[in-house]
Amino acid sequence: MLSPLFQKWFSSKGWQVRSHQLTLIEKAFIKQQSTLLIAPTGAGKTLAGFLPTLCDLEQKIENGTISNQLHTIYISPLKALAQDVARNVEQPIHEMGLKIDIETRTGDTPASKKQRQKEKPPHILMTTPEQLSLMLAHPDWLEHFKHLRYLILDELHALVVSKRGDLLALDMARLCQYSPSLVHIGLSATVAAPDSLRGYLMPQINKMTGEIYEPFQKSELVTVASTLEANITVLKTEAAIPWSGHGAAHVIDDIYQIIKAHKTTLIFVNTRRQAEMFFQDLWVINEDNLAIALHHGSLDVTQRRKVEAAMVAGQLKAIVCTSTLDLGIDWGDVDLVINLGAPKGVSRILQRIGRSNHRMNEASKAILVPSNRFEVMECQVAMEAALRGEQDSAEPRTGGLDVLAQHILGVAVSDPFLKQDLYLQICSSWPYRHLSLEDFEQVIDFVATGGYALRAYEEFAKIKVDEDGYHRISNKKIAQNYRMNVGTIVSALMIKIKLVKQSNQRHQPQGAAPFKNRARGGRILGEVEESFIAQLSPGDTFVFAGEVLQFEATYETEAYVIKAPFKDPKIPSYMGGKFPLSTHLADALRMMFSDERRQQILPDQVKEWLVLQKQKSQLPNLDKLLIETFPHKDRFYLVCYPFEGILVHQTLGVLLTRRLERAGAKPLGFVAGEYALSIWGLGDMGKLLENGSLNLADLFAEDMLGDDLDAWLQESSLMKYTFWQCATIAGLIERNQIGEHKTARQTMISSDLIYNVLRTHDPDHILLQATYQEAATGLLDIARLGHMLKRIQGKFNHIALDHVSPLAVPVMLEIGKELVFGEGRESLIYEAAQELIDEAMKE
Amino acid sequence: MTSSINQCDKFEIHHIFHGLELHLHASGAIWLEKLKTLLIADLHLEKGSSLAQKGMLIPPYDTRQTLEKLDEVMAYFKPEHVITLGDNFHDHKGPQRLSKQDLSLLNKLMQRAKFTWIEGNHDNPNYYKSQLSVASQTNDEIFYNPVQHFQLEDISLIHDAAQGAKAPMMVGHLHPLALLKQRNVYLRKTCFFISKDICILPSFGSYTGGLNVRHDAFSPYWDDDTKIFMLNSNQVVQVPITKLVKNKRG
């Protein structure tokens, strides 16, 4: 099947062409079928993905039918990956002496090069989903797309679970309009439901009948099984295992010895904050001066590239990193992966483990390191599930209406459309295959005039319909604005951290002005959320980029810092990084709690903890939700153990407190953990439950998701945040406007005000629907809460205790540790006011 | 995440300003019981449609929401006289864009009390040039005839204090907002700003934001006596000025 040239090249490398590579050539090149390739890292997945393209181009060169047309587009979720893959594919092309042009196009590509590409595209273009949307918004590119033969989607499992995947699917449907016989090749890590990914690669509308395929169309599938079992263990230690917290200080010596004993170790942590803390801790004991580096998404790009280059060159002994290294890039000779903290999900941990021994001929080696007692159990069940090869990766999303709005404007910008044609095209994409005509029309209406029930803006319409029914934009400025606001990644405003020179003067005026000179030539270390910088006062110290820094001043979008004399730093508390525990692992954990025999493999400290819990209270079990009540220091507590992750527990906490307040239990607050939820108040909830004035079935009834949820959503800051994101993606709030630099904060009207007005006066508005849809699966995870409430209906195990139980200790220790967030913030005003009153009373 | 339900008592705020008892209301209005007069500032009616003209199609219900809020406040206090402190409309063509429904609501409100509309810089593009020009774009169907200035006993009512009326003054224009730092948490709320000789009202309109009271624009008005009253969901709360901070940027 391979041409002589390819055969020669493979043997010149001393390689044997792999069977999945041949199968892919057969399906995607010879038979021209769209195909999904599922393979563990290191299986030569990327090269396999390009083989059909290279075979086709080589044949055309041989036949003399090669033309200077765009042939293949490769899409990667990461800019860096696109560049990395370009280099890797250039090599065989160069070695085989093929005259094929490969170029990259990312946000970093200069405008002149982009312009040139638009006039004369390369054969193979490596790019990102956002760039594809931008190209589709230019009529010139549409001509080039007619020649497109292959679309290669890398790391598909990561793309399809985000709004970027929604936008990409819509763009794919458009590409098929210009190139109907386009072949899609998806490259993915092992996932729980490969069929959805296969569906994602295929048009789901039958062009002849205009009907949706039932059952859905699936692409071809090529699977490469991992041939070797991974070697996964949970770290055993003599050290005392903490009750709560997310650090690993207690096992730092163990880990240091392990790093020394291996060639190169990748240490994954869950948040940037943990990365910074652990990196600091390691360097404190790094007597041997091992080359240990730090890598996370907030660090400056050049810094990250340096670390990556050192890694590839084999100069590093260890890297402490966050999920930024989850994807793609080949790191060479990693012989150990350490995962610090909760694994959260099996697929997640398997993908991380796959970063070691990329060569596939050796078993991957990984150690899971729990940071507290609950995590010991989570690590144990995650390890067992991983060894069984189970998967719990998320399913592709149902397409967001906000993304659809952005896309529709994009279509109108470059290619005027008929409503019915566009509807069918959109329904042919996997995430939108069930989109109703009504929703579609509402979204068009929204894009055109805002879609308000009060039809006030007809005269300002962005999209107009001509006599033939074609929808087109009403003026050119709209196209420009669209191009400046493409994309689905809406992030908090980021502030650059700039290291400036120390001042010689002992006394200096306050503020940014005296720093402007010193800032010249200062080094950018990376960036953090504005909300974090806003918490700092000049003189405050924090850890960033592996150094202890002292905050001095802010100027525009930069924060000036100097190196701090080493003292106890105030640790960054970044947003994000809060993945919930997967339902799969949650089930496995509940199972372990209810199975005493299986608990025997746990370390003694944890076993003793569980035995103590059994003596004082009970262990959670599979059938019933364990609820404990007890008094503690003038307060009464209710602790329950749903194991549904922090997002669900937060929402549950808000709704339960509302209900408890109505029931007269006088709740004061709650704290949500990954495994448990604790609510406290002035009323004795244990007594109220026992004398029947409080009823658990009522308290946890499913109708909680009705009026109570609705009432809370009106005020919820998480909901307002979700609305802000949807409104930005949908184009109601513009991130960038022509000729103006607008920061996230300075949009003309706060989205909170818009949210309030819209909820009151147009509650069925399409943008609110988009927001609820997002909230159901996003930050509020209402869907999962709904499943849980259904599961536990009427099944409770209430234990009234005299004091806190061993199992409740971890969540009790969280109280007061975290910053007050969300709804509780409001009450701080009264605290401040009370201080004023107290002061007045003193006088 | 920690959260707690507020158990504090409701705050009733009365403040004596140059002999006049001000009732500071959580809506951002001030009620003068003795004069049966209601003061509000910066309605910015038709801000939504003003921005829609420029391509931002934000919801067009702001006028209705603002008028409904005014309706509620008037139903509660039953004023004989309502005085607005300027920036009644977001732009001077705003009155012509009022929907029929909003216009009729406004007319109803104006039948329930005497209205004095003070003019602001948004109402009249020549506001800063022609102090005394009273003429403005009006809509025939409503009695809308703004004035520059109104005297309430000793107190001058004007839109922008920088226009230099005789102190003491009650004004709007700046949209005061306070950023409170409590336990490392920041809370941003609109507020009343009251010094010895000046009282600045928060903006009343639905789409109006705020300017931090620590911004330079407020510096002429701070004195040893300045008090800040923040508006917090249905309550007015006096807060210690030592806890108020500047915006970190801009």
Q: How confident is the model at residue A513 (pLDDT cuts 50, 70, 90)?
A: low
Of B56, B187, B249, the CB nearest to A825: B187
A655 interface with B at CB cutoff 8 Å = no
**How far does the CA of residue B150 sit from the closest CA of chain A (Å)?**
30
Q: How far apart are CA A209 and CA A277, in angstroms?
A: 59
Token pair 């390890």 in the structure block, residue = A383
* pLDDT tens track for B72-129: 999 999 999 999 999 999 998 888 899 999 999 999 999 999 999 999 988 877 776 5
Q: Could you tell me the two tokens for A264?
A: 């190169």
The rounded percent of chain A whose pLDDT value lies above 90 is 53
Query: Which pLDDT score, from 0 to 100, does residue A524 have?
Result: 83
Query: Which chain B residues are within 8 Å of A462, Cβ to Cβ?
Result: 55, 57
Q: How does DSSP classify residue A299?
A: B
Q: Which of residues 467-486 of A touch B (CB under 8 A)?
A: 477-478, 481
> Are B1 and A822 a contacting pair at CB < 8 A?
yes
Q: How confident is the model at residue A329 (pLDDT cuts 50, 70, 90)?
A: low
> What secondary structure does DSSP assign to A369-425, as a single string?
E-SSHHHHHHHHHHHHHHHTT---PPPPPPPPHHHHHHHHHHHHHHS-EEHHHHHHH
pLDDT at A455 over 70: yes
Residue A580 inside a domain? The answer is no
Q: How confident is the model at residue A305 (pLDDT cuts 50, 70, 90)?
A: confident
> Are B3 and A746 a contacting pair at CB < 8 A?
no
Low pLDDT (below 70) residues in chain B: 1-12, 128-144, 183-185, 248-250
Q: How far apart are CA B219 and CA B217, in angstroms?
A: 6
**How far does the CA of residue A449 sit from the closest CA of chain B (Å)?**
7
Of B2, B230, B250, the CB nearest to A818: B2
Residue A599 inside a domain? The answer is no
Q: Which of residues 812-831 of A touch B (CB under 8 A)?
A: 815-816, 818-831
Same domain, A75 and A182: yes
pLDDT at A733 over 90: no
* pLDDT tens track for A391-423: 998 888 899 999 999 999 999 999 999 999 999
For the beta sheet containing A494-499, the strands, ordered from the edge strand earlier in sequence to the opposite edge, are A523-529, A494-499, A558-563, A547-555, A541-544
Q: How confident is the model at residue A251 (pLDDT cuts 50, 70, 90)?
A: very high
Query: What's the length of chain A?
Result: 843
Residue B3 inside a domain? The answer is no
Query: Which chain B residues are within 8 Å of A743, Cβ to Cβ?
Result: 250
Query: Which chain A residues are within 8 Å of B240, Cβ to Cβ?
Result: 832-833, 835-836, 839
pLDDT at A590 over 90: yes
Q: Are B27 and B232 in contact, with CB atoms under 8 Å apart? A: no
Of B56, B182, B249, the CB nearest to A554: B249
A669 interface with B at CB cutoff 8 Å = yes
Q: Could you tell me the two tokens for A660?
A: 């408890």
Residue B248 inside a domain? The answer is no
> Are B60 and A456 a contacting pair at CB < 8 A?
yes
Same domain, A280 and A143: no
Residue B127 inside a domain? The answer is yes
Token pair 């819509």 in the structure block, residue = A170
Domains identified in chain B, total number: 1
Query: Which pLDDT score, from 0 to 100, does residue A667 have?
Result: 83
> Are A829 and B52 a contacting pair at CB < 8 A?
no
Give the pLDDT mean for A332-356.
86
* pLDDT tens track for A205-221: 988 888 999 899 999 99
Q: How far apart are CA A141 and CA A1, in angstroms?
A: 34
Query: Which pLDDT score, from 0 to 100, does residue B10 have?
Result: 40
ipTM of this predicted complex? Answer: 0.84
Residue A596 inside a domain? The answer is no
- Look up the CATH number of the domain holding residue B177: 3.60.21
Same domain, A805 and A770: no
Residue B70 inside a domain? The answer is yes
Q: Residue A815: closest CA among chain B residues belongs to which residue?
A: B2
Query: Which chain B residues are within 8 Å of A762, Cβ to Cβ?
Result: 59, 61
Q: How confident is the model at residue A492 (pLDDT cuts 50, 70, 90)?
A: low
Contacts 24+ apart (CB under 8 A), B64-69: B64/A761, B64/B99, B64/B101, B64/B102, B64/B105, B65/A756, B65/A757, B65/A760, B65/A761, B65/B206, B66/B204, B66/B205, B66/B206, B67/B102, B67/B105, B67/B106, B67/B109, B68/B105, B69/B27, B69/B204, B69/B206
> Are A457 and B3 a contacting pair at CB < 8 A?
no
Same domain, A654 and A691: yes
Best to test chain A binding among B3, B11, B54, B190 (most A CBs inside 10 Å): B3
Of A657, A757, A839, the CB nearest to B61: A757
Of A533, A666, A839, the CB nearest to B248: A533
Query: Which pLDDT score, from 0 to 100, does residue A339 have?
Result: 95
Residue A838 inside a domain? The answer is no
More confident residue, A567 or A157: A157
Residue A273 inside a domain? The answer is yes
> Are B237 and A833 a contacting pair at CB < 8 A?
yes
Domains identified in chain A, total number: 5
Q: How confident is the model at residue A818 (pLDDT cuts 50, 70, 90)?
A: very low
Q: Which of residues 716-735 of A touch B (CB under 8 A)?
A: 732-734
A840 interface with B at CB cutoff 8 Å = no
Same domain, A420 and A346: no
> Are A460 and B57 a contacting pair at CB < 8 A?
yes
**How far does the CA of residue A591 sit from the closest CA of chain B (Å)?**
27
Query: Which chain A residues are within 8 Å of B248, Cβ to Cβ?
Result: 530, 533-534, 554
Same domain, A484 and A537: no
Q: How does DSSP classify residue A66?
A: -
Of B11, B183, B209, the CB nearest to A828: B183
Q: How far apart are CA B206 and CA B64, in angstroms?
A: 9
Of A450, A654, A820, the CB nearest to B183: A820
First and final C-alpha spacing in chain B? 30
**How far does the CA of residue B151 sit from the closest CA of chain A (Å)?**
33
Q: How far apart are CA A3 and CA B45, in angstroms?
A: 73
Q: How confident is the model at residue A424 (pLDDT cuts 50, 70, 90)?
A: very high
Residue A595 inside a domain? The answer is no
Same domain, A239 and A313: yes
Residue A834 inside a domain? The answer is no
Token pair 């022609």 in the structure block, residue = B130
Residue B104 inside a domain? The answer is yes
Q: How far apart are CA A640 and CA A448, in angstroms?
A: 48
pLDDT at A227 over 70: no
Q: Of the candidates A387, A416, A444, which is a domain's last residue?
A: A387
Q: How far apart are CA A379 and CA A810, in angstroms?
A: 17
Mean pLDDT of chain A: 86
Q: How far apart are CA A767 and CA A780, in angstroms?
A: 17
A714 interface with B at CB cutoff 8 Å = no
Query: How many helices and strands in chain B, by DSSP H and E?
Result: 4, 16
Query: Which chain B residues are within 8 Å of A734, Cβ to Cβ?
Result: 56
**How far does the CA of residue A690 sit from the closest CA of chain B (Å)?**
24
Q: Which of residues 507-546 of A touch B (CB under 8 A)?
A: 530, 533-535
pLDDT at A361 over 80: no
> Are A554 and B239 a contacting pair at CB < 8 A?
no
Q: Which domain holds residue B78?
A: 14-243
The rounded percent of chain A whose pLDDT value lies above 70 is 88
Token pair 């640790």 in the structure block, residue = A571
The β-bridge relationship of strands B37-40 and B30-32 is: antiparallel
Residue A606 inside a domain? The answer is no
- For residues A336, A341, A347, A351, the Cα torsion angle rounded to the nearest 10 degrees is -30
Q: Residue B46: closest CA among chain A residues belongs to which residue?
A: A456
> Are B249 and A530 a contacting pair at CB < 8 A?
yes
Same domain, A303 and A346: yes
> Are B248 and A833 a contacting pair at CB < 8 A?
no
Query: Which pLDDT score, from 0 to 100, does residue A531 have?
Result: 65
Q: Could you tell me the two tokens for A220?
A: 């071809």
Q: Residue A658: closest CA among chain B residues belongs to which residue?
A: B5
Q: Which of residues 553-582 of A touch B (CB under 8 A)?
A: 554, 556-557
Q: Are A480 and A738 in contact, with CB atoms under 8 Å apart? A: yes
Of A660, A607, A601, nearest in space to A636 by CA: A660
Residue B34 inside a domain? The answer is yes
Q: Which domain holds residue A769?
A: 401-489+718-775
pLDDT at A791 over 70: yes
> Are A819 and B185 a contacting pair at CB < 8 A?
yes
Same domain, A625 and A651: yes
Residue B164 inside a domain? The answer is yes
Alpha helices in A96-162 (DSSP H): 111-119, 129-136, 139-145, 156-159
Query: Which chain A residues are within 8 Å of B183, Cβ to Cβ?
Result: 820, 828, 831
> Are B249 and A535 a contacting pair at CB < 8 A?
no
pLDDT at A569 over 70: no
Q: Of the candidates A340, A360, A387, which is a domain's last residue?
A: A387
Give Cβ neighbours of residue B105 (< 8 Å, ≥ 6 apart).
B64, B67, B68, B71
Same domain, A677 and A808: yes
**How far does the CA of residue B78 sit from the closest CA of chain A (Å)?**
25
> Are A825 and B47 a contacting pair at CB < 8 A?
no
Residue B54 inside a domain? The answer is yes
Same domain, A288 and A407: no
Same domain, A788 and A766: no
A736 interface with B at CB cutoff 8 Å = no
Of A743, A760, A827, the CB nearest to B4: A827
> Are A830 and B8 a contacting pair at CB < 8 A?
yes
Give the pLDDT mean for A513-524.
68
Of B49, B184, B206, the CB nearest to A819: B184
pLDDT at A434 over 90: yes
